[in-house]
Structure 1
Amino acid sequence: MNALFILIAALAGYLLGSIPFGLVITKLAGLGDIRAIGSGNIGATNVLRTGRKDLALATLLLDAGKAGIAAAIFGFFLGTTAGLVAGAAAFAGHCFPVWLNFKGGKGVATFVGTVLVVSWPVGLAVIASWLITAAIFRMSSLGALVGALAAPVAALVLGRPDVAIMTGLLAVMIYWLHRANIGRILKGEEPRIGGGKKTPADGESTADET
């Protein structure tokens, strides 16, 4: 694969991934700057704190879709490697968008979108692991962490070492971005699904995943 094509895939993927759909959608809906409420995150979890489930769902789908589209386009025209690079770059763009001083979301939705495109069986394994863990322990953040870990394992089992390497690297980043969540999980302080969440103004950290 020509290095120039890989560079183009990385740059285009990053720029597409850096589109802050959560911020754009809430502003268009007249809800102001999403970064001023809750955790200050631009992902779907924080958008949900506005009380608009429709906007949160739209944010989730768009954040996943932008990574999936990047991986699909470059994968189709330039091959598997370019698709993997574009998807990973979109993940990086979402987490560190240049337009927002590199302060973005936690990347789970873009991670899932990328994996579903580059290997849908691995993507389904991620989603299943996420949902099952969240249902059992009632912690969406824990579900996201287990899902991220399941991706490289499933990829290796399915004979996709290329996908395993990419998802392994992104999983490390997801764990780093969720380090505050991990600390709360270990202390037994992570908010549970349906248990209510306090905002920073209440003196407690929030627990976004996307």
Structure 2
Amino acid sequence: MNFLENFLELYFNGLLVHPDHEPGGKTVLLILLGCAVTGYLIGSLNSAIILSRLMYHDDIRKYGSGNAGMTNMMRVYGKTAAGLTLLFDILKTGVAVWIGILLLGQNAAYISGAACVVGHCYPLYYKFRGGKGVAVTAGLCLFANPPVFLILFIIFAIVVGFTKYISLGSIMSLLFFPLMLRSFYQFLASTNPQLRPFVPPTVLFPALFITVLVILQHRENIKRLWAGEENKFSFKKSKKTPHQKQLDAQREAREDRISNENSDKNK
């Protein structure tokens, strides 16, 4: 019980909390601002762009939907690239969230995480052209509130399982995000009379902001869903499209050119 109590104390209050630090005090506001800036800079490290350049010497934004995210990485480069993209997106959000938790607990965690989502969608280092923010939002939920993440993941899995539309699953789980947070805090209050049965503003407003932002990032997907033109997702191994074959040929040509250049340098 001591470990659980200490963890909950860290989660709700962080390490820098002090009786003199009023919720609206200058020190707290400066820490929250610092968490937001740090989260944005971390989020701007777009793993899809970085991996496409490191692994394939190219930019994922040139192909497919033009989106620098996991789904487009899957369609263009395959499961390995998509899996690595998902992993790094979730981990970078975890770093941002835990910086917030360690400093001021949940009050800073969601602000830092929301800023990370903004950085992912509009990365400072890549001319503000990034991804749609689904994976980083999942990372925020996972590290800031695992029970809510589990429920949202189940909703996502059910929708995708029945419809085969990743975009629809993402949108539906996002719509439930603020509602699940409200239910979570009501449940906590029912088990502990000292807790208030409402979502703190520093948690609620970032969650609402993320929900609106990421859904807006899917506006083209929504149009395609409405028109019945959205691509369906499948785990089955499909034959390579002409576009993928062209990419393979271009990649092999680049690798041969790089190999020849290195050989010439070594002579």
1:6 maps to a residue whose letter is L
Higher relative contact order (CA 8 A, sep 6+): 1
TM-score by length of 1: 0.88
Give, in angstroms, the shift of residue 136 of structure 1.
0.7
Offset, 1:50:
3.2
| Greater gyration radius | 2
Question: Is 1:12 aligned to residue 38 of structure 2?
Answer: yes
| Offset at residue 24 of structure 1 (A) | 1.0
**Cα shift readout 1:151-175 (whole Å, capped 9, x = no counterpart):** 1111111126134443222111111
Contact 1:87 1:114 in 2 (8 A): yes
Deviation at 1:98, TM superposition (A): 1.1
Residue 177 (structure 1) aligned with residue 217 (structure 2): yes
Could you give the per-residue CA deviations for residues 65-120 of structure 1, whole angstroms, max 9, x where no partner exists?
Answer: 11122111221222211111100000000001111111110000000100111111
Matched-pair contact (CA < 8 Å) for 1:96–1:104? yes
Runs (4+) of structure 1 exceeding 3 A deviation are: 162-165
Counterpart of 1:94, as a letter, is H
- The equivalent residue for 2:199 is 161
Higher mean alpha-carbon deviation, 10-19 vs 170-179, is at 170-179
Q: How does 1:95-110 map to 2 (within 5 A)?
A: 95-110=121-136
Q: Deviations over 1:27-55 (max 9, x none)?
A: 11134111121122111111113333112
The unaligned stretches of length 5 or more in structure 2 are 1-22, 186-197, 244-267
Q: Check whether the contact 1:44–1:57 (CA below 8 A) recurs between aligned residues.
A: yes
Cross-structure match for 1:65:
91
Preserved contact between residue 48 and residue 56 of structure 1 (Cα < 8 Å): yes
Q: How many pairs are equivalent?
A: 198
Residue 52 (structure 1) aligned with residue 78 (structure 2): yes
